[in-house]
Amino acid sequence: MAEDPSVTNFRNYIRIRTVHPDPDYDACTKFLKRQAEELGAQFQKIECVPGKPVVLMTLPGQDPSLKSVLLNSHTDVVPVFPEHWKYEPFSAHKDEKGDIYGRGTQDMKCVGIQYLEALKRLRRDGATFLRNIHLTFVPEEEVGGAEGMGMFINTPEFKKMNVGFGLDEGYANPTEKFSVFYGQRNPRAILIRCKGQPGHGSQFIPNNAGEKLHKVINSFMEFREKEKERLENDKGLRLGDVTTVNLTMLKGGVQENVIPAELSVGFDVRLAPSITDKEFEAMVKLWCEKAGDDVSYEFTRKAVPQVVTCIEDGKNPWWDAFSSACKKEKLDIDTEIFPASTDSKYIRMLGIPALGFSPINNTPILLHDNNEFLNEKIFLRGIEIYATIIPALANLKP
């Protein structure tokens, strides 16, 4: 049986090794340029950082003065551990069940191709759009997005796009439902340095760095446990509704029998919308003060303002258009806060409403995991879904 051309296109995209730490953005850009030509879209390559291109495709609408629709996806993917994969991670191997294996099959090359294939289908059917449609394929999302979408939103090219609403990635849902994300947690990385009296490992040296480090870790872990219990005890909460804290780095020491003059600990923190950045920093400051003198903290990941998109019926026309299209496709959707981080944070911080949505259900969540895969039937169904959602947004009347 012949393979659907959309699936072939998807598999070819997976085979492009845009994997960190050395993504092949050049091959990816050439591939996307061919896609733009096939779609009949305007094509631009914008490099905010040399060698890290943002690809912009535009389909002009009948009234370009109206706010446009942005369909965003990222081109980069996270590293792999090939020895733990069933098949080579960039082979896009398809098994007898139609499961396509490869890094990026869920996160998020599927969505980029689904946008393109849905629009190709709509254009073949003679569809027209009231508003401009922009597709952005951005780099560096998997390392925070600062040199991708984070810089692109400050360019003249982005301002000319006149974006009114954005779609970005979500993730798979293992049930019949589809997940839709209207906000996300604020990722913070913290490094805490504890300085103290050095000495011989055989002594009870007062005011030493290890004692202070112990107190700091206890404070963070006690907060972590409270948030974990809150999630477990309240069935109405999702992961995105609570703050996660994880110890990710430990530094220091010179020799087993020498008490060091300095020890450091790093934490990965994802702040739920219920706690502001200032409130959390005040907590960290207090924990450091309680640990003793010469305990300092540094936020090594820049804060992004937490903004959520209104999903109340009748209060946001973009949401109404999106949700109506989902109902037309008979999708059972779950709305929630995204527990990790995506480039939609940069869109929302400009005051532009955005939703995270990957049309993937009945699929285990495998982003960043070994043996990431997507079934071809689920993939093709996603194209059908976007072929309903995109016109609903692009033809939204002012």
Q: Using the predicted structure, report yes or no on whether residue 1 has a pLDDT greater than 90.
A: no
Per-residue pLDDT at 174: 97
Dihedral in degrees, nearest 10, Cα atoms 15, 18, 20, 22: 110
Residue 45: its pLDDT value, please? Answer: 98
Residue 78's pLDDT band (cuts 50, 70, 90):
very high
Q: Which amino acid is at 386?
A: Y
pLDDT in tens, 103-147: 999 999 999 999 999 999 999 999 999 999 999 999 999 999 999
Alpha helices in 72-191 (DSSP H): 109-124, 149-152, 156-161
| DSSP state at residue 77 | B
Domain endpoint, select from 299, 326, 357: 299
> Do 41 and 96 share a structural domain?
yes
Same domain? For 108 and 81 the reply is yes
Going by C-beta distance under 8 Å and a sequence separation of 6 or more, which residues neighbour residue 198?
Answer: 205, 208, 209, 258, 259, 260, 261
Give the H or E element holding residue 295.
strand 295-299
Considering the domain architecture, whether residues 386 and 237 belong to the same structural domain is answered as no
How far, in whole angstroms, is CA 190 from its chain's centroid? Answer: 20
Verify that 152 and 208 share a domain, yes or no.
Answer: no
| 370-381 pLDDT per residue, tens | 999 999 999 999
* Average pLDDT across the chain, whole number: 97
Does 122 share its domain with 41? yes
What are the angstrom distances between the C-alpha of 14 and each of 28, 70, 94, 247, 336? 10, 23, 12, 33, 28
Same domain, 155 and 22: yes
Nearest to residue 103, comparing CAs of 369, 396, 321, 381? 369
Residues 13 and 131 in one domain: yes
Same domain flag for 64 and 44: yes
d(CA 145, CA 108): 14
Q: Calculate mean pLDDT across residues 165-171.
A: 97
Give the single-character DSSP code of 82. G
Looking at the predicted structure, is the pLDDT value of residue 304 above 80?
A: no
For residue 44, give the 3-state DSSP assignment.
Answer: strand
Question: What pLDDT does residue 142 have?
Answer: 97
Please give the single-letter amino acid code of residue 214. Answer: H
Residue 68 has pLDDT above 80, yes or no: yes
Q: How far apart are CA 390 and CA 398, in angstroms?
A: 16
Domain of 270, CATH number, reads: 3.30.70.360
The confidence score (pLDDT) of residue 51 equals 98
How buried is 398 (Cβ within 10 angstroms: 0-12 exposed, 13-18 middle, 19+ buried)?
exposed
CA separation, residue 242 to residues 27, 150, 258 (Å)? 40, 25, 40
Residues 11 and 144 in one domain: yes
- In angstroms, the CA 39 to CA 42 distance is 9
Q: Which of 299, 326, 359 is the last residue of a domain?
A: 299
Residue 301: is its pLDDT beyond 90? no
Average confidence (pLDDT) over 252-267: 97
Cis status, amide bond into 21, omega within 30 of 0? yes
Distances, alpha carbon 19 to alpha carbons 23, 24, 29, 83, 272, in Å: 5, 7, 14, 16, 29
Instruction: Report how many domains make up the chain.
Output: 2
From the DSSP assignment, how many helices (H) and strands (E) are in the chain?
10, 16
- Average of per-residue pLDDT across 41-61: 98
Which residue type does 244 have? T
Residue after which a domain boundary falls, among 247, 274, 299: 299
What is the pTM (predicted TM-score) of this model?
0.90
CA angle 114, 115, 121 (to 5 degrees): 85
Same domain for 372 and 360? yes
Is the domain of 367 the same as that of 265? no
Tell whether the model's pLDDT for residue 95 goes beyond 90: yes
Could you tell me the pLDDT band of residue 238, with boundaries at 50, 70 and 90?
A: very high
Q: Which residue has the tokens 């294939």?
A: 117
For residues 130 and 119, give the distance between their C-alpha atoms in angstroms, rounded to a whole number. Answer: 14
User: Are 155 and 58 within one domain?
Assistant: yes
Strand-strand pairing, 199-200 and 295-299: unpaired
| Domain enclosing residue 222, as ranges | 186-299
Torsions phi, psi for 104 (to 5 deg): 105, -5
Percent of the chain's residues with pLDDT above 90? 96
Mean pLDDT of 207-227: 98
User: Residue 158: is its pLDDT beyond 90?
Assistant: yes
Helical (H) or strand (E) element with 323: helix 317-328
Mind listing the pLDDT tens digit for each residue in 340-386?
889 999 999 999 999 999 999 999 999 999 999 999 999 999 999 99
Binned at pLDDT 50, 70 and 90, residue 305 comes out as confident
Active site residues: 76, 141
Q: Identify the CATH number of the domain in which residue 336 sits.
A: 3.40.630.10
The shares of helix, strand and coil residues in the chain, as percent rounded to the nearest 5, are: 35, 25, 40
